[in-house]
Amino acid sequence: MPAPSTDAIPPATAAAPTTVEFPVGWSVESRLRLADSLFNNSSVGICVTDTAEHIVDVNPALCQLTGFGRQALLGKTPRVFSSQLHDKAFFGHIKQALATNGQWQGEVWNRHRNGELYAIRLDIAAVYDQQQTITHYVGIMVDITQRKLQMQALEKSAHFDTLTGLPNRLLFSDRLHQALAQADRTGTMLAICYLDLDSFKEINDLHGHPAGDTVLREVASRMAAAIRTGDTVARLGGDEFIVLLWGLEQQMECHHMLDRLLQAVRRPIPLAQGSVLPALSIGVALYPVDAAAPDVLLALADAAMYRSKTAGGNRITYHEE
């Protein structure tokens, strides 16, 4: 099995296979019985191919993992498991590893016979005859789907707000630094915009916190739909949000986009009892016009937002105003 027919992602670290030492005096028949027992009773999937990648045998655990019966797999290639998710350029790395070391270990997303994706740790090892010629390849598949899903969930919780699904402060900071570098390369401006939901305390007091959460989710959804692809709206906490607009040639572009965002938000949100008409106070600082340091830009935008709120809310205030 010189290359798994599923595309592979960069390999995980795995220990090299160990050699089984049989007790002195064991007959060939005893060894074969043991090998057969291990093959058929193993809890991990095992696939054996010839040097042309044709499957010559699989064990019951592999059939259970993939959803394919043994007879349906014999003579096929591991392409039958392909998820079509991974970069095909990685095949060359796998073949090179097998040619150089006789083994490869990594993680692969496969597709079950029923169409569902699953993740495996795949170990491939070459089998040699007495002349050190490769005769077969053995692939060992261990299901790691739940671990991968748990890792993805942890990563999402670290970068996204749980209530609204928007990026959180950490992810916003990362995107801000990327945007600053892009602005320097292209000679364009970017805008950091602090947003605060007007009269949110009154909404909570009058309708209750569950209704307040409904308002936050709906406002977040409307803002995300109103900005351009590539821009970012994040939730900082409570009723505070922040928007990053980049690739701006002039300040008026920023004003038009924020005005559209204000209009998108200022539509009634129905609640269990009555409805609310949300509005935003927005403060804006521009790079590199107002400051160069990210922390200073954030502070200037925050201060401008408070001036917007003090002036009555539902408006846009720039740092220099």
Q: What angle do CA 305, 306, 311 make, to 5 degrees?
A: 100
Yes or no: say if 307 and 283 are a contact pair by the CB < 8 Å rule.
yes
- Distance, CA of 319 to CA of 298 (rounded, Å): 11
Bond into 288 cis (ω within 30): yes
- Distance, CA of 202 to CA of 252 (rounded, Å): 33
Measured CA to CA in angstroms, residue 265 lies from 212, 216, 281 at distances of: 15, 11, 11
Q: Which residues of 133-143 are buried (b: 16+ CB within 10 A; e: fewer)?
A: eeebbbbbbbb
Instruction: Please identify every residue annotated as catalytic.
Output: 239
* CA proximity to 108, closest of 1, 36, 27, 224: 1
- Distance, CA of 93 to CA of 98 (rounded, Å): 9
Q: State the DSSP string of 240-277.
A: EEEEEEEEESSHHHHHHHHHHHHHHH-S-EE-SSSEE-
* CA proximity to 47, closest of 130, 96, 110: 110
